Amino acid sequence: MNNPIPNFPKGAISEIIGTAISLRGNDIDTDRIIPARFLKCVNFDALGSQVFDDDRKELNGLHPFDLKENQNASILVVNGNFGCGSSREHAPQALMRWGINAVIGQSFAEIFFGNCLALGIPCFTTSKQEIEEIQKSIESNTGIELLLNLKNQTLKSKKSTWQLEIDPGAKQMLTSGQWDATNQLISNSNSIDQIAKKLPYINGFKSKDSLNDLT
């Protein structure tokens, strides 16, 4: 099971509202998130259904990503050194296409963190004790709605508030929309067209003053 229509991030991200999945265990690597045999794909579309494929088969329906109450969750809560191992971008792609829009953990592998940022998936950290508290809250209150606020760096439920941390540079990129290079290009298409018209190598070097026109 997985979310039928994932909500892909786009533009500036200020908050994420939804339910959460608690996935326990340290050093969960990218090969567990998306096994190597799925890396031959031409695009990432099918990766959502293949996320944690080996772990889910081993647990025979009892993996957190297979539990009925966790379907349509958008926030993943993990432990230490999540996303370690290889640098494959397929790992956050698989999580996003399943429906995950944010990850909260004790720590993340650096490349995994960067790959998530490139997709608009914020990775927040907090202490081991706080992670344990959040996971217990999720597990004992299945389906509880949470509000993740990027500006305030908080995770809120009806009963509790947890203070989180995120790299300042990543926070700025996410809240401003700078992480979304494709959307920025589309939004500035008119300016791009105007610059393109002045580029000599696009216009056959017809104007001797074309380089000066760029200034």
Give the tens place of pLDDT for each residue, 18-69.
Answer: 999 999 999 999 999 999 999 888 788 889 999 999 999 999 999 999 999 9
Question: Within 10 A of 201 (CB to CB), how many other CB atoms are there?
Answer: 7
- Written as six digits, the tokens of 168 are 């300042």
Decide if pLDDT at 203 tops 80. Answer: no
Give the tens place of pLDDT for each residue, 1-13.
Answer: 555 557 788 889 9
What percent of the chain is helix, strand and coil (3-state, nearest 5)?
40, 15, 45
> Can you list the domains of the chain with their CATH numbers?
15-179 (3.20.19.10), 184-213 (no CATH)
186: confidence class by pLDDT, cuts 50, 70, 90: low
- Whole-prediction pTM: 0.84
- Written as six digits, the tokens of 73 are 């969750």
Question: Within 10 A of 50 (CB to CB), how many other CB atoms are there?
Answer: 20
Q: Per residue in 20-47, is it b (16+ CB within 10 Å) or e — as a string?
A: bbbbeeeebbbebbbbeebeeeeebeeb
Question: For position 198, what pLDDT does the model report?
Answer: 76
Mean pLDDT on 183-198: 69
Question: For position 4, what pLDDT does the model report?
Answer: 54
Give the tens place of pLDDT for each residue, 80-137.
Answer: 999 999 988 999 999 999 999 999 999 999 999 999 999 999 999 999 999 999 999 9
